A and B are shown apart, each in its own frame.
Chain A
Amino acid sequence: MHMGNKRTKFVIGGFVILAAIASLGWYAMSQNAVYYYEVAEVMDRGAADNVRVAGTLVNGTIEKGQVGDPLKFKIHDKADEAQVLYVTYTGAVPDTFTDEPDVEVVVEGNYSGSGTFDANFLLAKCPSKYEAAAENGEQAPSDKQ
């Protein structure tokens, strides 16, 4: 009986700690989670503040004026190239953001509801040269040796 009580004490203690951590996690989640959409989805849903959107850079659309001007570019939906979002971004441009085919872009910010997006965060992922070359049909990768 005595032993059982001791065990209970520790089991309860453990649960209290884990419950505290879980509720902390829950609280942080409710405060900080942002929706993460594809281009087509966000355009479908209309105006939204503080959302994250993933798409593909439309080549040749990067506009950068004078030093200090915002960066402007377009991204299209990964599946549907006709769905295009016009992005304005002010801030540090990541070194991976380059005008290459199939650069995946993630932006975070506010969507106006009418095709323009005001971004305060920008992430870019370059495909390797290899994949880009292959997809352009320049030279298909050969079979494994």
Chain B
Amino acid sequence: MNQIGYTALLLAVMLAAYGAVMPVVGARLGRRDLIQSGLHSAYALAAVVGVAAVVLWIAMMTRDYSNYYVWQYTSNDLNGFYTFSAFWAGNAGSLLLWLLLLAGFSATVVYQNRVKNRELVPYVVSVLMVVSLFFGLLLVAFEGSNPFEANPMGSPAQGNGLNPMLENPGMVIHPVATYLGYVGFAVPFAFAMAALITKRLGDFWIRSTRRWTLAGWFFLTIGNLVGAWWAYVTLGWGGFWAWDPVENASFMPWLTGTAFLHSVMIQEKKDMLKVWNIVLIIMTFTLTIFGTFLTRSGIINSVHSFGQASVGPYFIAFMALTLVFSLNLLFSRLDLLKSRNELDSLLSRESSFLMNNLLLVGMAGTVLWGVLWPILSEAITGDKQTVGPPFFDTVIRPIGLVFMFLTGICPLIAWRRATFANLSKNFMYPGGTAAVVLVALLAFGMTHVWALIAFTLSAFVLGTIFMEFARGTLVRREMTGDNIFKAFTSLVRRNKRRYGGYIVHAGVILFLIGVTGHYSFQEKAQNVQLAKGEAVTVGDYTVTYEEFSSFNTDEKSVGQAVFRLEEDGKFLGTAEPVREFYFAKDQPWTRVDRHSTLLRDVYVSLMEYEAPDGATITVDVSVNPLTSWLWIGGIVATLGGLIALWPDRREERRLAARYERQARLHEV
């Protein structure tokens, strides 16, 4: 089995090399047959990588412990669901997943463009194949990166087993979604490079990749959200985001990808920001590679501690090559990228989009600065310094609030030059709503300044979104005579991208309401020792230690404490956190329990207990206000993203018409 898998990977490397070279050679020589052969290698690549992946999955399902990777991450008692996801539990499998997704996407690009974009596609595929080649080489050439390595222990009867922290539905989704996002951005990057190479620098590359960009953003968003949810429900420290280097790794491309997603609209509508868009997609793509590098190289300690140092230098070399190649190409084409329109007024949609872009890139830049500071400070001063969550909080909070404000402004402010009439028409009611919310919060005695600003801005933005839906629906009802509900659905259906986008905005705001509540008003009691019958009080909540049970199995010892939760003396329910200890892996695992409502979570984790009867225990208890809104916001944003992504016939027809016009233009 190992042989088959490894051979498939070797074939994949050869096919990627062929596909990287042949389409370009064909395009340069004007040989259609060579181009076709090169493009078809994308299908072959997808097939052989698919074979490699299936072989690995079969080896995992059949517990073929002669495969070292299988031995490392599965064991006889692992259930089918997590056996499936053990595929990407380690370094080698994660790299294979990258390659699998990239090969699949490349084949899809070739298929989608089999009759269109003839000039661009050879270069697009060549760029994608170079990326595939890089990942393919990592997989076959490095010890510890090859998922088909033979087990040095031969073929043991039992495997080492999956890390219990990864036995969670979140860890099935998070890596795949994050990688789908990363790889999704490779497609617009490849189109941008192809546009530069072929000097076809209209908005064609952007329109052709609009869906890829949206999909990449959509999946990266889900990946980040699920990662945060997983951290919250499994890590047991009461938070969902720790500015861990690897969290930052997937946050940075999300920031620049968000900027790209928005600024391409300006190019589509106004033919502006052409250079900026290419810079953004170069940044985003490089950051996806950087993100993979941070996770895989083990350069910085973090919760993703399975990194491996030996592939690090190659990642750096690949990123450097990518930057040198793409920026050099961009500079050589600068004269072809002149905008046809100029920015006019600071009070306009163009400039508010530009400002939103600057803030996003500024946030990405400061996060990058923080991540790299240990390395930079050592290089500059000779002393290594590091920054933690307070640094990121200090920087991101104010920028994030301005960004929130712009989320309300951008979609509604007039193009080119906003007039007073336009501003008052769009922003009077939302502004009024925000003022009412502010007064109400002050009246309730809220004094936390950041929270007051954040909640007021949230009300403002949600107000603008509501107005947009209401106004559109009423106009539509007037026009068609339909009832409100029908008018509303057809409004959304007729402009999915726009209204889907608004729903995403609403989701983001709900998420930020959760962030604000959690960070501003969290109350904690840490390291509390309790004997049975004793209680700890956090805010209005009393947590009483009532019972304890423990048992051992062959693989682990399990201790569970039962707590009685009360709010102002009123019984709420029980919390039953667990602490397990896995003998074979010599690893403890804390399973938190929480009592969750829309207003707050009571979050209890059992940190240690006196075996076997739990006469005394140590617990961490926190009350996390509004934390549920993180996940509600996430679900709303996901739904909005789905609406924006939903296939749209009218949009397809419009695009097809443009392709035809373009094609005719080139024939003339």
Contact = CB atoms under 8 A, between A and B. Distances in A.
B358 to A, nearest CB: 5
B153 A35 contact: no
A36 B385 contact: yes
A34 B143 contact: no
B351 interface: yes
A106 B153 contact: no
B520 interface: no
A90 B527 CA distance: 8
A91 to B, nearest CB: 6
Interface in A51-84: 52, 54, 66-68
Given A10-B351, A31-B394, A95-B589, A37 B387 contact: no
Contacts of B305: 96, 125-126
B104 interface: no
Given A18-B358, A21-B366, A67-B610, A28 B386 contact: no
Contacts of B587: 95-96, 98, 126
A135 interface: no
B569 interface: no
Nearest to B386: A36
A1 to B, nearest CB: 13
B365 interface: yes
A6 B609 CA distance: 68
Contacts, number: 148
B394 A142 contact: no
Instruction: State the majority secondary structure of interface residues on A.
Output: mixed
Contacts of A6: 342-344
A130 B68 contact: yes
Interface string B282-326: 000000000000000000010001100000000000000000000
B114 to A, nearest CB: 38
B618 A33 contact: no
Contacts of A18: 358, 362
A13 interface: yes
A85 B72 CA distance: 33
Interface in B1-39: 2-3, 6
B573 interface: no
A123 B529 contact: no
A76 B66 CA distance: 36
Interface in A98-141: 98-100, 104, 106, 123, 125-126, 128-130, 139-141
Given A96-B305, A129-B160, A34 B152 contact: no
A37 B610 CA distance: 35
A25 B369 contact: yes
Contacts of B236: 92
A24 B394 contact: yes
B366 A145 contact: no
A43 to B, nearest CB: 15
A21 B387 contact: no
Q: Chain A, interface size: which category?
A: 35 or more
A67 B609 contact: yes
Nearest to A100: B586
Contact of A128 (B306, B377, B385, B387): B306
B395 interface: yes
Nearest to A16: B358
A99 B586 contact: yes
A52 B366 contact: no
Contact of A24 (B150, B301, B374, B399): B399
A95 B399 CA distance: 34
Contact of A33 (B358, B363, B387, B586): B387
A7 B344 CA distance: 9
Nearest to B395: A28
Given A7-B342, A21-B365, A145 B6 contact: yes
A17 to B, nearest CB: 5
Contacts of B425: none
Interface string B590-610: 100000000000000001111
Contacts of B385: 33-36
A106 B529 contact: no
A141 B391 contact: no
A31, A54, A141 — which one has the most chain B CB atoms within 10 A of its CB?
A: A141
B343 A10 contact: yes
Given A18-B358, A24-B398, A95-B589, A32 B383 contact: no
A96 B303 CA distance: 9
Contacts of B527: 68, 90-92
Contacts of B365: 21, 25
12 contacts: A10-B351, A14-B358, A21-B363, A28-B392, A35-B383, A36-B384, A68-B529, A95-B587, A100-B586, A123-B301, A126-B587, A130-B72
Interface of A: 3, 6-7, 9-10, 13-14, 17-18, 21, 24-25, 27-29, 31-37, 52, 54, 66-68, 90-93, 95-96, 98-100, 104, 106, 123, 125-126, 128-130, 139-142, 144-145
Interface of B: 2-3, 6, 68, 72, 143, 146, 148-150, 152-153, 160, 165, 236-237, 301, 305-306, 342-344, 346, 351, 354-355, 358-359, 362-363, 365-366, 369, 373-374, 377, 383-388, 390-392, 394-395, 398-399, 526-527, 529, 585-590, 607-610, 616-618, 620
Nearest first, the 9 closest Cβ-Cβ pairs linking A and B are A28-B394, A21-B362, A68-B529, A32-B391, A36-B384, A36-B386, A67-B616, A33-B385, A32-B390
